[in-house]
Amino acid sequence: MGKTIKTIGCDILSLSRFYKILKSYDEYVLGYLFTVNEFKAAKASCDSKLFLAICFSGKEAVSKALGHGMSGRSWNEIEIFPGKDGSAKVRINQETRVAELNCFWELSWDLKDNFIYVLVNIYSRRLSRMSLIELHILLVAVI
């Protein structure tokens, strides 16, 4: 089945600036930006600060791809789980997901010169042609 790019979103994040922000706030305040699952995965990763930086930048890129930024939206509606290969899994909560059912996501990231670069592609698909397995993958937004 073919895919058509519906929209893209990108973000660039300075690690040094982000790390200063992480030092400035406790986990309670950072809980407004990151989900419990993201915190758990970050703590289990080999570099928790880098993991959270990719999550933050990924959320920015996803929100830009959706066309509205984070305005009127909770940061916890979007979960990002970076892979070591420059890919990432994206999970969107149920309310946001309903509006995006005809789409699937690809998120890639790279690290260079103290910056995280994230690119999100949102592809259109015809729901009527999807198999149950493809629908399940879409609903959990697995890349």
**pLDDT given for residue 139 in this prediction:** 45
Q: Give the list of residues 6+ apart from residue 9 with CB closer than 8 angstroms, or none.
A: 60, 61, 62, 63, 64, 65, 66, 119, 120, 122
Cα–Cα distance, 111 to 52 (Å, whole number): 13
Residue 56 vs residues 22, 88, 110, 125: alpha-carbon distances, Å: 11, 12, 14, 27
Structure pTM?
0.77
What's the burial of 90, exposed, middle or buried (CB within 10 Å: 0-12/13-18/19+)? buried
27 vs 126 pLDDT, higher one: 27
DSSP state string for 10-50: EEEEEHHHHHHHHHHS-HHHHTTTS-HHHHHHHHHSS-HHH
pLDDT tens digits along 1-47: 566 777 889 999 999 999 999 999 988 999 999 999 999 999 988 89
**pLDDT given for residue 96 in this prediction:** 54
126 vs 5 pLDDT, higher one: 5
Cα–Cα distance, 13 to 33 (Å, whole number): 15
**pLDDT given for residue 63 in this prediction:** 85
**pLDDT given for residue 134 in this prediction:** 45
Cα–Cα distance, 48 to 3 (Å, whole number): 34
**pLDDT given for residue 129 in this prediction:** 45
Phi-psi region of 31 (alpha: psi -120 to 50; beta: other; left: phi over 0): alpha
pLDDT tens digits along 44-85: 888 999 999 999 999 899 888 877 767 767 888 888 888 777
**pLDDT given for residue 126 in this prediction:** 53
